[in-house]
Structure formats: C-alpha cells, structure tokens
Amino acid sequence: MYIIELLSEMVYKLRSEIMDKTIENFLRYVKIDTQSSEESTTIPSTMKQHDLARQLVSELEAMGAAEITYDKEHCYVYATIPASAGCEKAPVLGFISHMDTSPAVTDTNVNPRIVENYDGKDIVLNAAENIVMKVEDFPELLHYMGQDLIVTDGTTLLGADDKAGVAEIMDMAASFLLNPERPHGEIRIAFTPDEEIGRGTDAFDVARFGADFAYTVDGGALGEIEYENFNAASTVVTVQGSSIHPGSAKGRMLNACLVLMEFQGMLPAFQNPAFTEGYEGFYHLDSLRGDVEQAVAEYLVRDHDRAAFERKKEFMQECAALLNRKYGEGTIKVEITDSYYNMKEKILPHMHLVEHARRAMEAVGVRPEIIPVRGGTDGARLSFMGLPCPNLCAGGHNFHGKYEYVPVRSLEKISAILQEIVSGYARYGLEPPPGE
C-alpha cells in the first residue's frame, strides 16, 4: 500500500510540475506578438509569427519530440510523438492549433495577470484607464467563482485564441514523451499561421502531416465539441451611379449610395447577426464606402444548412437583377466567393471522433456540450482537404478583445481531455464504448 501511495504522490507531483510549466508557457506565448494581417498577401501574413514558431520548435526539440519539421517559408510547425510499444497500429491522431492572433485588437505588449480565487465581483483590468470587466456584461464569469483566471491589462487582447490551444497541445505532448510507457498511438501535432484571417490551411501539407484523423483545439469554453460550422461566402456589391451638380440633377443623377441603401433594405431585416443564434444564418454588412458616383459594400453570408446558404446567395443576385431592371443594366453588380463549407458532411462518416471526445471529457469530469460553430475553423477546410477534423474547446472567453480571459482550470482540464482521447483510441480503436 505504501508503494502505491508513494507512486501516486510521485505522479501527482510530476503532473503538477507539468501543469505549472504549461501555465508558464501560456503566459510566455501570449507575450509574443503574432498578430496576422488581412492586408498582407504573403504566407504567413506577418513575419513575426515566426517568433512563436521558432520558440515551439526549440521546446519540441528539448522535450524529445520526433520528426520536427519547421516550414520556414510558410511558418508551419509539425512534430511527432511516436507510438508506445504495442500501439503502432492504432489510428494516427493529429492535434492542431494556430499561432496567430486576431487583427481586431492589438497583441503588442500583452501583459497578462492571474486573478487568484476569483470572488464573483467586477474585475478591474486597468485602474488608470478605468477599464473594468463587469459581471453585468459578462455573467458567465460567475461560473468560475473560486477559480484562478488569466486576464489582460485592458489595453490588448489576451491571445488565448489560440495560444491556449498551443499550450494545451504542448502539455499533452510533454506528458506522453515523459511517460512513453503510457499506451498511445502515434500522435502528430501542428501549429499554423493566419487562421484568424481565414488562411490557416492555405499551405498546410496534409500528406506531410500524415494523420488519419485530427482535432483542432480552437474552441471556446471548457466542454465544447464542434463538428458543424457555417457555410460561408464573401460578397462584394458594387453600384455604379451617375454624378452631376445637385443643382441640375433632376432626371440625370443616379446616387450610388442610395441605390446601395435600397439593396440593403431588400435583405431580410432579421437575418442579421444581431438577431440570430444557434443554427440561424445571416447576411452581415461588414463594410460600406462610396459616393454618388460609386458605392461598394462587403457582406458575409452564413448558414449551416447548405440549401439555405445557396438560397441566400441566389436572393442577393435576384435583388441586384431587380434593381438593374429599375435603374438600368450594369447599375449594380454582386460578386460572391465561397469561403468554406460545413464540415458536418465530412465528419458524419467518422463520428467516432465526436464520441471519443465526448467519452474523454466525461472520463475527466467535464460535461460535454456539442454545439454548432457560428463561424469557421481550420478544421472545416482540413476536413474538405481529406483530413476529418472536428474542433475542441481551448477554454477561453471573449476572444478578439480586451476582455478576453481563460480559467487556469480549463487549461488543465483540456490537456487532460487531449490525453484521454489519445488513450481512448489506443484502448478502443474506432469504437469507444457508449456511455462510459
């Protein structure tokens, strides 16, 4: 009995040391500026993303990972944790997170701090600038009373999207490398650039990655499992008007801005992000610019249902056709480009991915919640590239802004979930037991 207790104590101590290192790593990762840029046409969109890539390569080398590949041109990092003895035939599992942060709010000089034993009150992020994260605005904070929270100083985003995922995957890798006797199949990991601007898989090498199945670790709150996402398209609406001095404009002027307003007024008012949730799609007016002579609007079109998605695009063209009949052919042009599709159709033949994730969460004491992604994910594009890849929680909240935070316990639990998924595939193959 004494020996068992001693071993348990040693395992616990080792685990605590790993998790302390994980939190330390996360706090260091978020201080590295990796913001991507929509204006850039290069891969990666910003060279500073290489700073984190090089850091991760160094850490992977130090922990003894195998087959470390650093794509120095495109800023992708790949590595392998070899299978344990006897598990060489288990499915090769991949885990993927992105290194970049959103362009929405700066991540230069991120200054994270830990709010210990959160008391359920408003959190003062920056007293000098009176920046306060209020429970009234973010009531989910109350779910984390008594826990430690990592927050910003109110002047930057945090970068938990997706450096939390990076830290969790690195912890999982370290755990198996430090304990190679634990049964596990081959594990492939990858860290990618430019996910936040929709280009995270543009140069991803699926063949080089070599996984049978994979998970992106890029979701929200602890417990989320996502295998459905929006079908998505970008739309540019251009109106050509006719400018003339307003004093002599009668019967001659065609105000492009007014025609564009008319087009917007034809779209369903309540199919707008401000009025939709769950599986409800929308038209989102993302930008608007122009004058009398020419006006341009950019829209995001989204819907989980493929037929409804196609209908939305058709309706925009029908609105344009009507206005062209009214004002003359060529007055308005609608250009639609599909961005990505709902990965559900690619995941349904491989639902063991969802069931293994569900079982793993329950095994470590986390209640799984399967929800649709109201957005996109690298996993969607990878699924259509031949790598079935649902999305798992990374643990953070309020992404892309100064109120972003992540509970420390969520970092710990998600690492445990990833490890349990790997162990589950080694034990059960593609058929996890129901309701375990």
Give residues with Cβ within 8 angstroms of 143, minimum separation 6. Answer: none
Q: Which two tokens stand for residue 401?
A: 């802004």
285 and 301 Cβ atoms separated by less than 8 Å? no
Partnered with residue 285 across adjacent β-strands are 299
Q: In 1-51, which ranges are E strands?
A: none
- Residues acting as catalytic residues: 100, 195
Spell out the alpha helix ranges (H) of 364-394: 378-384
Q: How far apart are CA 146 and CA 123, in angstroms?
A: 14
Q: Which two tokens stand for residue 276?
A: 């939709």
Helix (H, G, I), strand (E, B) or coil at 256: helix
Q: Which two tokens stand for residue 88?
A: 């060489």
Q: How far apart are CA 287 and CA 389, in angstroms?
A: 32
